[in-house]
Amino acid sequence: MKQKIPHITKSDIIRIIKREFKDYDIECILSILEGYNSESERGKYRLYASILKLANGNIDLLKKYVNEANNDYRNIISLAEYRKI
C-alpha cells in the first residue's frame, strides 16, 4: 500500500499562519519559514505546515524548528505527521 503524501499550497500556509500566529505579520512568519533551504516547492510547503503545527503559535519554537529542519527535515515531518503509538 502506497502512503499518501499531503499536497499543501502556499495559500494553505497563509491560512495556517493567520490561524496560529494572529498577533504577527504574515510576512514576518513567512520570512522565518524561508530560513529553511529547500529545493522542492511541494516539499517546502509540507515542511512549513509541519513546523507551524509543532510551533503552535510560539515564535521561538518556530525559529527552533526551522533551524532543526535545516539539519534534518525528516525529524520535523515525523514529529508533526506521525503519532506515537
| CA dist 44 → 1, 51, 84, 85 (Å) | 25, 10, 24, 27
Which residues make Cβ contacts (< 8 Å) with residue 6, sequence separation at least 6? 46, 49, 81
Note the pLDDT of residue 37: 87
Task: Tell me, yes or no, whether 5 lies in a domain.
Answer: no
Task: Tell me, yes or no, whether 3 lies in a domain.
Answer: no
Domain hosting 59: range is 10-81
Note the pLDDT of residue 42: 74
What do you get for the CA distance between the two ends of the chain, in Å? 20
- Run means of pLDDT, 10 residues per run, the chain, 85 residues: 77 97 96 90 90 97 97 93 72
Beta carbons of 20 and 52 less than 8 angstroms apart: yes
Task: Tell me, yes or no, whether 48 lies in a domain.
Answer: yes
Total number of domains constituting the chain? 1
Task: Tell me, yes or no, whether 2 lies in a domain.
Answer: no
Task: Tell me, yes or no, whether 1 lies in a domain.
Answer: no
Note the pLDDT of residue 38: 83
